[in-house]
């Protein structure tokens, strides 16, 4: 902040971390409601046509991305800006790949379980909401990458990277639940 922040309050990083946790908790509620709706509507039913293999691939991609984002945060903490940018880039690439595969999956799915069926409705709503969050995560990571490139991320800004990564990892973890209730159960 420019004018604000004459610093009688805790460091901005601490505020940011706390606020982000709250926001993530709120988002968890969002997904909780969606998951509850899935069971209300369908019980434990699911469409046979769901491509479980693809689901496993998607899961692996995101787990890898979790790991690379973790490395990005570690690099930021260590002050290694080059490594951080590299890991951010890798994470983003995995995210884009994930989204591309979701598109593939959707276009196949539209034939097998169209949106006009209860399972289809729930499937596209949940995966769509998740992908939207992933897109936001991508935007955050891209912004961090750009700021780093332009030399605008200094020593004191590690929390920014940590925050972006925390959000990203939250979205990854949500995927594990999505995978479980849409592909496995």
Partner 1 sequence: MATATPQVERRLGASGLPFAARGLLWGLGGFVLGAAVVAIIRALAGVGAWRADQAIVVGFLFSVPAFVLGVGAWETWGRGWFGLETYEYDPPGWRRYFGFNLDHKVIGVQYLVTFLTVFILAGAVAMLMRTELMDPGRTVLGPASFTRFMSLHGFLMVLVAVTAVPGAFGNYVMPIMVGAEDMAFPRLNALSFWLWPPAILLLLASPLVGGWDTGWTGYPPLASVNNLGQIFYALAFVVGGLSSIVASVNFLTTIVKMRARGLTWGRLPIFVWAILLTGVLSLFFTQSVAVAVTMVTLDRIVGAAFFEPLLGGAPVLYQHIFWFYSHPAVYVMVLPSLGVMLEILPVFSRKPLFAYRWAVGGIIGISVLSGVVWAHHMFTVSALSNANAGFMLSTEAISVPTGLVFLSAVGTIWRGRLWMKVPMLFALAMVFNFLIGGITGVFLSDIPADYQLQDTYWVVAHFHYTIVGAGIFGLFAGIYYWFPKITGRMFDERLARVHFWMMFVGFNLTFLPMFWLGLNGMNRRIADYQPELAPVNLFVSLAGFFLGASFLVFLWNFVVSWKKGPPAGPNPWGARTLEWQTSSPPPKLNFEGIPEVVGDPYDFAPDAPRHAEIEVGGER
Q: What is d(CA 54, CA 20) in angstroms, rounded to the nearest whole number?
A: 31
- Per CB under 8 A, contacts with partner 1 among 64-123 are 115-118, 120-122
| Closer Cβ to partner 1, 6 or 53, answer by number | 6
Question: Residues 52, 78, 143, 180: which binds partner 1 (CB under 8 A)?
Answer: 143
Structure token pair of residue 133? 């969050």
First-to-last alpha carbon distance for the chain, in angstroms, is: 48
| Closer Cβ to partner 1, 60 or 132, answer by number | 132
Q: Is 125 in the site for partner 1 (CB under 8 A)?
A: yes
Collapse the DSSP code of 9 into the 3-class scheme (helix H, G, I; strand E, B; otherwise coil) and give the result: coil
- Per CB under 8 A, contacts with partner 1 among 151-170 are 151-152
Please state the length of the chain.
185
Q: What is d(CA 97, CA 89) in angstroms, rounded to the nearest whole number?
A: 12
- The residue range among 17-25, 55-63, 69-77, 90-98 that interacts with partner 1, by the rule CB under 8 A, is 17-25
Q: What is d(CA 126, CA 174) in angstroms, rounded to the nearest whole number?
A: 10
Q: Which residue ranges make up the site for partner 1 (CB under 8 A)? A: 1-4, 6-10, 14-15, 18-19, 22-23, 25-27, 29-30, 33-34, 37, 40-41, 115-118, 120-122, 124-125, 139, 143, 146-147, 149-152
């Amino acid at each position: 902040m420019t004018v604000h922040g004459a610093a009688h309050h805790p460091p901005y990083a601490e505020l940011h971390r706390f606020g982000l946790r709250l926001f993530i908790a709120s988002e968890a509620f969002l997904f909780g409601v969606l998951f509850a709706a899935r069971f209300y509507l369908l019980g434990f039913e699911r469409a046979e046509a769901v491509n479980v293999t693809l689901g496993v691939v998607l899961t692996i991609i995101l787990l890898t991305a979790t790991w690379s984002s973790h490395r990005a945060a570690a690099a930021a903490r260590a002050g290694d800006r080059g490594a951080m940018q590299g890991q951010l880039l890798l994470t983003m690439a995995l995210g884009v790949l994930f989204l591309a595969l979701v598109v593939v999956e959707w276009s196949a799915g539209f034939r097998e379980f169209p949106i006009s069926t209860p399972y289809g409705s729930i499937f596209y709503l949940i995966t769509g909401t998740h992908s939207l969050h992933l897109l936001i995560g991508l935007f955050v990571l891209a912004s961090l990458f750009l700021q780093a490139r332009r030399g605008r991320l200094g020593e004191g800004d590690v929390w920014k990277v940590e925050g972006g990564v925390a959000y990203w990892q939250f979205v990854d973890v949500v995927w594990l639940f999505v995978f479980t209730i849409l592909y496995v159960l």
